[in-house]
Amino acid sequence: MGNFLPGQYERDRFSKINHNYLGEQFSDYSTIFGKIEKLILKGDYTLGDEVNLFEQRFAQLENVRFAIGVGSGTDALFLSLKALGVSQGDEVITTPYTFFATIGAIVTAGAKPVFVDIGEDYNIDVNKIEAAITKKTKAILPVHWSGRLCHMKKIKEIASKYNLFVVEDAAHAIMAKYGDDYAGHYSDTACFSMHPLKNLNVWGDGGVIVTNNEDLKARLSLMRNHGLLNRDECAIFSYNSRLDTLQAIVANHLLEKIKHITDSRISNAHFFDAELSKIPQIKIPPRDPLQKEVFHIYVIQAKNRDGLKKFLIEKGIDAKIHYPIPMHLQPAAKEFGYKRGDFPVCEHVCDNVISLPVHEFITREQQNYVVKAVQEFYKL
Ligand SMILES: *Cc1c(COP(=O)(O)O)cnc(C)c1O
């Protein structure tokens, strides 16, 4: 199967208020073409200056020592687990409320995902992690859902107590902070995606791993590039998952705008929070003033969610569900033996969440239109 959502982007364009904004995002594509032209004249197609520059700038942005550009967010997770020695027979603790790639990375690394329920903030409930640890547990893999960081300090304490690794799925969390700390501060690695729909997006696939550990940085740099020490010598037989140099050009271009992208999303989300919190049928997750949430998606819970979604779509508002089926209830998870009722908070959230567009190209006028539509649906 190729693109399993054929015509999705085309259809989305007919909404007045969209989740997809790639046309606007890259309206200055001719500037990027100019940079690509320079690359073509140079012939520097794999790794090279653009990737190095991106890695330096990304590490700086996330306030960590090292960044390693890789082929995708999924590869970032998979390579991190592999670099830490996760393999057959190991267990990795994670959340059932995530995108498939989190679990895909654990399973393809050879390990078994062990789920822990989430809290009202949609992130893994740190108070339930210890009960899930067994002799086989090798790592904890928290996901910063929607761009809100998990309680990493607490997770790190648990990991240290039981001698476990920590890999963060920070696909949603570029520039997110808890207090002064970005993703990557309390973990072995944090993994970011630059998929076209993420906050920092490229023209296809791209990912980046950050770490403060110099040995891990060296190992990951080898692992993404066949394990090559130089042209003729290989240190470890490994994978090919480099960040594409063309994509590094796009990423470097957008890095200049990431502060603006992030600030607009935060401002739009705060506007929705203020307006939608007046509607009794809407439940906004608790906001923690210590958190700098970056709102990769704006997720709230709504009474008669499916009815609201249908109504909003009729009004030209591209409401989405991220996601209706938790990981432990997926057909692919059958072999792990979970059942409905195992993670009640997560299951309730999946039955009730709805996402509204908050990207940087939404105007206040459009946001007011969304708020009015929600009020209209509930006959307020
Ligand atoms: C997008 C995403 C990934 C995977 O990233 P890709 O770059 O698409 O491979 C992993 N985890 C989460 C939570 C994501 O949303």
Hunting for tokens 């998952």 — which residue is that?
A: 241
CA 338 to mean position of chain CA atoms: 24
Angle formed at CA 246 by CA 58 and CA 197, multiple of 5 degrees: 65
Residues within a 6 A CB radius of ligand 1: 72-74, 98-99, 101-102, 143, 169, 171-172, 193, 195, 205, 207
Q: How far is the CA of 42 from the centre of ligand 1 (A)?
A: 32
User: What pLDDT score was predicted for residue 24?
Assistant: 86
Exposed, middle or buried by CB within 10 Å (0-12, 13-18, 19+), for 339?
A: exposed
Q: Whose CA is nearest to atom 5 of ligand 1?
A: 73
Q: pLDDT digit of tens for each residue in the chain (380 aa)?
A: 455 555 666 666 667 888 888 888 888 899 999 999 999 999 999 999 999 999 999 999 999 999 999 999 999 999 999 999 999 999 999 999 999 999 999 999 999 999 999 999 999 999 999 999 999 999 999 999 999 999 999 999 999 999 999 999 999 999 999 999 999 999 999 999 999 999 999 999 999 999 999 999 999 999 999 999 999 999 999 999 999 999 999 999 999 999 999 999 999 999 999 999 999 999 999 999 999 999 999 999 999 999 999 999 999 999 999 999 999 999 999 999 999 999 999 999 999 999 999 999 999 999 999 999 999 999 99
Burial category of 102 from C-beta neighbours within 10 Å (exposed 0-12, middle 13-18, buried 19 and up): buried
User: Are the C-beta atoms of 147 and 173 separated by less than 8 Å?
Assistant: yes
Strand partners, 376: none
The amino acid present at 275, given as its one-letter code, is E
pLDDT digits (tens, 9 = 90+) for 82-95: 999 999 999 999 99
At 15 the pLDDT is: 78
Half-sphere exposure of 114 (CA within 13 A, CB side): 19
Distance (Å) from CA 230 to ligand 1 centroid: 31
Residue to probe by mutation, ligand 1, list 75, 92, 99, 123, most atoms within 8 Å of CB: 99
Q: Which amino acid is at 225?
A: N
Q: Atom of ligand 1 at shortest distance to CA of 143?
A: 13
- The pLDDT tens digits of the residues spanning 274-310 come to 999 999 999 999 999 999 999 999 999 999 999 999 9
Contact 318, 340 (CB under 8 A): no
The pTM score is: 0.96
User: Which tokens belong to 222?
Assistant: 């080898």
